[in-house]
Chains A and B, each alone.
Chain A
Amino acid sequence: MSVGSAEPALVTSTEPVATVPRSRTGSGVVARRLMRAATKLVQTAAVVLVATVVVFLMVHVVPGDPARAALGAQASPDAVLALHKQLGLDRPLMVQYWSWLTGALHGDLGKSIMLTEPVTTLIKQRLGVTAELAALALLESLLIAIPASAFSARWRGRVADRVTRMFVLAGIAIPSFWLAILLILAFHNVLPVYGYAGWAAGLWPHLSHLLLPSLALAAGQLALTFEVNRVGMIEAIQDEYVRTARAHGISEWRVYLSYALRNAMLPTATVVGLQVGYLLGGAMLIETVFAIPGMGRLLITAVIARDYPLVQGGVLVTVVIFVVVNLLVDGAYSLIDPRVRRGQRG
C-alpha cells in the first residue's frame, strides 16, 4: 500500500506509524479508539445475527414443504415424511432456528440432502478454490485498475483519459461469464479452459487453470476501483500539499504517484472491501463457465436441487466472510490513515 514512502518529509499525513507521539495515548485517545472498535464489532455482530434469521426464515416463509420441494413431485409421502423429520421440520420454528444457530456456531450446518454429506465438509472442500480464484481476480483488478486510474487522472479530460474510461465501462457492461466464454474461444489452444488443478499438480498447471477465470472475473470488478481511485487522485491533486510538492520541483509523475495516489488509496481501500462481495457473487458464474469445483458451483447445484441445508449453510458462510472482510478493511483503514488513527475524523 505504501507507494513512494521515500519522500514523507513534506507531507504531514504520511508520517511513519512509529512516530505516533506517546503522549497522546494518555489523553483518552486509546479509550476512544477502543470504543469505536467495540461499537463497530457490536454493530457487525448484530448485522450477522439478523442475517442468520433472514437466511433461516427465507426457506420457511414460502408456502409448501421444503422436504417435498427437495424430493420432487414423484416422491412417496413416506419419503417426504422421513426427510421432514430428518430436517427437524416438525419442531416449532424457534426451536429449529435455535438448534440451527447453535449448530452453526459449533461448525455443524446440517447434512446436504442431495450429497448426503455434512454441509461444513462440503463447504470446506470448495471454499479454498473460490477464495483463491477471488483473491487472484482481486489482485489482477488492482494491478490493472490502479495504474490505469493514475494514467487517466494524469491526462484527465484528454483523449487518453476518455479512451481508458470507455474500456473500463465496457468491463462492467460486458457480462463476466460471456467474456469468460470469449476467452475460452480465444485461448483454448494455449491454456487449459476447463476444470481445476490443485497445487499437487504443480505450480504452472495450477495457476494456468485459474488464469482465464480470474481475468474474466477481474474485468468486471476493476471498474469501481478505477473510478474511485481516479476521482480520489483528481481531488487530491488539487490539495495544498501537492502544490507545495510541485513548488519543490518534484516531477509531475512523482507528484501523481507518491502524493495523489497515496491519498486516493484510502477511499479505494473501502471499495476493495465491497468488491469482495461482488467477487464472491461473480465467482459463482465464472466457476460455472469453467467447470471449477468451487463454492459457487456447489451453491448453484444446491439451489437447482432445492437442497435447503446446503443453500442455507453456503449463503451464511458467504455473508459472514463478506461482513468480516469489510470489518477488517475498516480496521485497516484506520491503520493506514493517521487522521482516523488519532481520532481526528468522525
Chain B
Amino acid sequence: MAETTTTTESVATTAAVAASTAPPRTSVIGRIRQDWIASFACVIVLIYLVIAIGAPWLSPQSPYVQHLQQILQGPSGAHLLGTDGFGRDELSRLFVGIRSSVAIGAIVAGVSTSIGLLLALVAGYLGGIVDFLISRIVDVGLAFPTLVLSLALITAMGVGARGTAIALVLGFIPFTARVLRSAVLKVRQEGFIESAQVTGVHPLRVVIRHVLPNLVGSITVQTTLVFAYAILGEAGLSYVGLGVQAPTPSLGNMIADGQTQILQVPRLTIVPGIAVAVLIMCLLVIGDALRDAADPLTVR
C-alpha cells in the first residue's frame, strides 16, 4: 500500500520537524506557560475560582436584602454594578451567582469524570464481555441529548440545584466514559503494560501504577471541558427555571431575571452573560492548550 507508507513518512517527518524545532522536552505545565493566551486564560479562571470560594466574604453587601426604594439604579460608589429590580446589589449577586455556577460545574466535572474513568478503566482494561456491556450502556446514554436527559431526570428529582447537578452528572458520564475508554485502550497496547502483566504484577497494581499515570493528560482535558459544558448546562437549566431557584442567584437565573427588564436596563442581562462567556471561553482555551501540550502532533 503506497498510501500507508507515505502517511507514515509524513508523520515521521512532522515528528522530526516538531522534535527539531520544539524546545527540549518540557512538562505539560511548562508548555502551557509558553502559550501566553492559555496562561492568561488560567489567570482568569483562577480569579473566578477565588470569587467562587470567597464570595461570602468578597461581596460588598448581602445579595438577598431588598431595598425597594433603590431599584434599578445605575452603577455608583455604593453599588459598583448598580441594583436589580428588587434593589439588591448586583455585584454581590454576581459574586454569589458565580459561586453557584462554578460549584455546580466543579461537582459535575469531578463526579462525572471520576465515574466515567472508573467505567473506562474497567471496560478498557478487562475487555471482553465486560467491555461489551459497558460500551452498550454508554451507547444508550449517548442516544439521549444531554439537555433532554437532564430534563427527564429533573422531572423525577424535582427542580433545584441538587436535581440539576445529578442530572448533568448522569448526562456527561457517557461522554467521559467513551473518551477515556479509548485512551485506556491506547495505553493498554504499550509494551510496558504487557511486560508488567507478563512478570505477574497484580492487575490492580498495573492499572494504578502504569495505566492511570498515562491517562492524566486525557483526564485533565476531559475534566476541563466537562467543567465548561456543565456550567453552560447549569446556566441553561437555571435560565428556564429548572436549575438553581430564586432567591439564590446563579449566572443562569440572573440572565432570566434581567431579561424581564431587557429594554430598560440591559446591564442586568449583559453582565451575567459576559461572566459566563468569559469563563467558558477561558476554559475552552485551556482545554485546547492542554490537549495540544499532551499531544503535540495533532493537526491544528
Q: B124-163, CB under 8 A of A: which get 1 and which 0?
A: 0000000000001001100111111101111111110000
Are A280 and B6 in contact (CB-based, < 8 A)? Answer: no
**Given contact pairs A170-B281, A181-B262, A303 touches B273 in the complex (Cβ within 8 A):** no
**Given contact pairs A178-B269, A240-B6, A288-B239, A58 touches B143 in the complex (Cβ within 8 A):** no
List residues of A whose CB falls within 8 A of some B CB. Answer: 43, 46-48, 50-51, 54-55, 58-59, 61-62, 69, 157, 169-170, 172-178, 181-182, 184-185, 188, 231, 234-235, 238, 240, 277-278, 280-282, 284-285, 288-289, 299-300, 302-304, 306, 308, 311-312, 315, 318-319, 322-323
**Given contact pairs A172-B280, A177-B239, A185-B262, A311 touches B140 in the complex (Cβ within 8 A):** no
Query: Which residue in A175, A235, A306 is a CB contact (below 8 Å) of B236?
Result: A175
Are A181 and B255 in contact (CB-based, < 8 A)? Answer: yes
Secondary structure at the A interface, as helix, strand, loop or mixed, is helix
**Given contact pairs A173-B281, A315-B151, A318-B145, A62 touches B156 in the complex (Cβ within 8 A):** yes
Secondary structure at the B interface, as helix, strand, loop or mixed, is helix
Q: Which residues of A contact B146 (CB under 8 A)?
A: 277, 281
In the assembled complex, the Cα of A231 lies from the Cα of B288 at a distance in Å of: 14
Further pairs besides A62-B157, A281-B147: 8, Cβ < 8 Å: A47-B140, A169-B284, A182-B273, A282-B147, A300-B151, A300-B241, A315-B144, A323-B143
The range of chain B's interface size is 35 or more
Query: Which residue in B143, B153, B259 is a CB contact (below 8 Å) of A322?
Result: B143
In the assembled complex, the Cα of A281 lies from the Cα of B159 at a distance in Å of: 18
Query: Which residue in B143, B241, B259 is a CB contact (below 8 Å) of A47?
Result: B143
Which residue of B has the minimal Cβ distance to A278? B145
B232 touches A (CB below 8 Å): yes
Q: Which residues of B contact A176 (CB under 8 A)?
A: 236
Are B152 and A311 in contact (CB-based, < 8 A)? Answer: yes
Query: Which residue in A231, A235, A277 is a CB contact (below 8 Å) of B145?
Result: A277
Are A319 and B155 in contact (CB-based, < 8 A)? Answer: no
Which residue of B has the minimal Cβ distance to A55? B152
